[in-house]
A = this chain, B = another copy of it.
Amino acid sequence: MPKTARWAATLTLTATAVCGPFAGPALAAPQPGTSGLYAPSAMVLTTGHGEYAAAATPERAVTLTCAPRPAGTHPAAVEACAELRASDGDFDALNGTTGAFCTKQYDPVVVTVQGVWQGKRVAYERVFSNECVKNSATAALFSF
């Protein structure tokens, strides 16, 4: 193989291997009974200070897609998707596994999850007494 061709092949393979996790399409787990091959799983998560999302300015917002592979701007998409699969999409079932020590300071933060999980709409809101409690409520999903 000529040197140029070898280089081109190497670069293509590198790009494919390295970019695979980031460039995935919006497909999700197969969903029987629909015309599509996959049920969508795409969400946007926000967090802000306050007791209610309606009154709290969203300070951070991240996207999360879980299939065919974890993706999005969530800083720990792989772990977050694993937690969601383990709880079968039950956000309330995600409760404190990290054993963190938090103060009892009351500075409420509210988390929202909106979008679609395995073909079903998600509209979730949960308030935590402070940022530390929020981050320890799950290993990854609410830590962004």
Contact = CB atoms under 8 A, between A and B. Distances in A.
Interface string A50-69: 00010001111111110000
B73 A42 contact: yes
B26 A115 contact: no
Interface in A25-71: 25-26, 28, 34-36, 40-44, 46, 53, 57-65, 71
Given A18-B18, A43-B44, A65 B73 contact: yes
Contacts of A108: none
Given A14-B11, A114-B44, A114-B115, A26 B144 contact: yes
A62 B115 CA distance: 9
A44 B115 contact: yes
Stoichiometry, copies per complex: 2
Interface residues of A, number: 42
A62 B26 contact: yes
A24 interface: yes
Given A40-B59, A44-B114, A44-B116, 16 more contacts: A15-B15, A18-B19, A22-B23, A24-B73, A25-B73, A25-B75, A26-B61, A26-B73, A26-B144, A42-B44, A42-B46, A43-B63, A44-B63, A58-B116, A63-B115, A114-B114
Interface of A: 11, 14-15, 18-19, 22-26, 28, 34-36, 40-44, 46, 53, 57-65, 71-75, 114-116, 119-121, 144
